[in-house]
Amino acid sequence: MNPTRHVAGAARRGSLIIVGTGITLVRQITVEALEYIQRAEKLFYLVPNPAVAEWLRELNPSAESLENSYSDGRPRHDTYAEIADRILKSVRGGLQVCAAFYGHPGVLVQPSREALTTARREGFAARMLPGVSAEDCLFADISVSSTGRGWQSFEATDFLAARRRFDPGSALILWQVGLLGEASVREGMSCRPERLRVLTQVLRRHYPGRHPVILYEAAQFPICDPTIERTILERLPHKQVLPAMTLYVPPRPSRPTSRVVARWLAE
């Protein structure tokens, strides 16, 4: 279970393995992630659920929360840089370090990526393992179109800022709508209504007002149900969108238009 085995040419003693804890408490962690968490000489974690934090501390007494790198109004970029730095300090100190993030550690987790890249650049063995993301839970909880029309997944602020092009004929998933246009996080925040209106206006160029949309929050505890709040696009600005929610927009009806492929299928 030594991550040095996985990185050819790694010369230095410290190492880094980045794992995900999944969304639902305990049950969604992979066997390999669990093993690394237990064996690490130093464990860092960033998870929103205090019960998961408690569980991680039981699994590995070296566990240290990264939560205190956040503070109200602090620019997110500063927080991410500090988190990456804290992890790297232990790697540079020669320890076998494991950093656990909720969900999939590579899905919208900037500090994990930063720590991984820097550790590798500095010659340490460093690897990320996959985890169960909120999107994986969404696919399980909502009957996402299974007709092969695909889906597109964007971070909501980037979606608006970069005017991302997308195809409304396949499903659309927007992450972090609750943090739309926010450079820092605050306790108890939700998407500002005027910003939710802007997002809705952009989506209205592609979908009718009565198009269904779903605000989704996967259950964090095995005994709980997910939150699946169904509404229509024109009512979206009246909803409270929390940071832990993901917006799902089902596809608009569309027909394949390629004659070539139609001929293939008819053969």
Ligand X SMILES: C[S@@+](CC[C@H](N)C(=O)[O-])C[C@H]1O[C@@H](n2cnc3c(N)ncnc32)[C@H](O)[C@@H]1O
Catalytic residue list: 76, 80, 102
Q: If binding is defined by CB under 6 A, does position 141 make contact with ligand X?
A: no
Q: Interface with ligand X by CB under 6 A: which range of 4-12, 78-86, 139-147, 211-219?
A: 211-219
Q: How many CB atoms lie within 10 A of CB 227?
A: 15
Rounded CA-CA distance 119/15 in Å is 8
In the complex with ligand X, the residue whose CB is nearer, 4 or 106, is 106
Q: If binding is defined by CB under 6 A, does position 23 make contact with ligand X?
A: yes
**Of 256, 229, 253, nearest to 138 (Cα)?**
229
Q: Interface with ligand X by CB under 6 A: which range of 88-96, 120-128, 161-169, 213-221?
A: 213-221
Nearest approach, Cβ of residue 105 and ligand X (Å): 7
Count of residues binding ligand X (CB under 6 A)?
A: 19
Binder among 83, 246, 250, 251 for ligand X (CB under 6 A) = 246
Q: If binding is defined by CB under 6 A, does position 109 make contact with ligand X?
A: yes
Nearest approach, Cβ of residue 67 and ligand X (Å): 14
Binder among 103, 111, 250, 251 for ligand X (CB under 6 A) = 103
Binder among 104, 195, 211, 239 for ligand X (CB under 6 A) = 104
Mask: binding to ligand X, 167-186, rule CB under 6 A, as x and -?
--------xx-x--------
Q: If binding is defined by CB under 6 A, does position 199 make contact with ligand X?
A: no
Binder among 21, 79, 96, 133 for ligand X (CB under 6 A) = 133
Q: If binding is defined by CB under 6 A, does position 107 make contact with ligand X?
A: yes
**171 dihedral zone (left: phi>0; alpha: psi -120 to 50; beta):** beta
Beta strands 246-249 and 212-217: pairing type?
Answer: antiparallel
Q: Interface with ligand X by CB under 6 A: which range of 29-37, 39-47, 80-88, 100-108?
A: 100-108
Q: If binding is defined by CB under 6 A, does position 100 make contact with ligand X?
A: no
Tell me how far CA of residue 96 lies from CA of 36, 44, 230, in angstroms: 9, 11, 45
Nearest approach, Cβ of residue 261 and ligand X (Å): 34
In the complex with ligand X, the residue whose CB is nearer, 151 or 175, is 175
Q: If binding is defined by CB under 6 A, does position 46 make contact with ligand X?
A: no
Nearest approach, Cβ of residue 174 and ligand X (Å): 8
The binding site for ligand X (CB under 6 A) comprises: 23, 103-104, 107-109, 133-134, 175-176, 178, 216-218, 220, 243-246
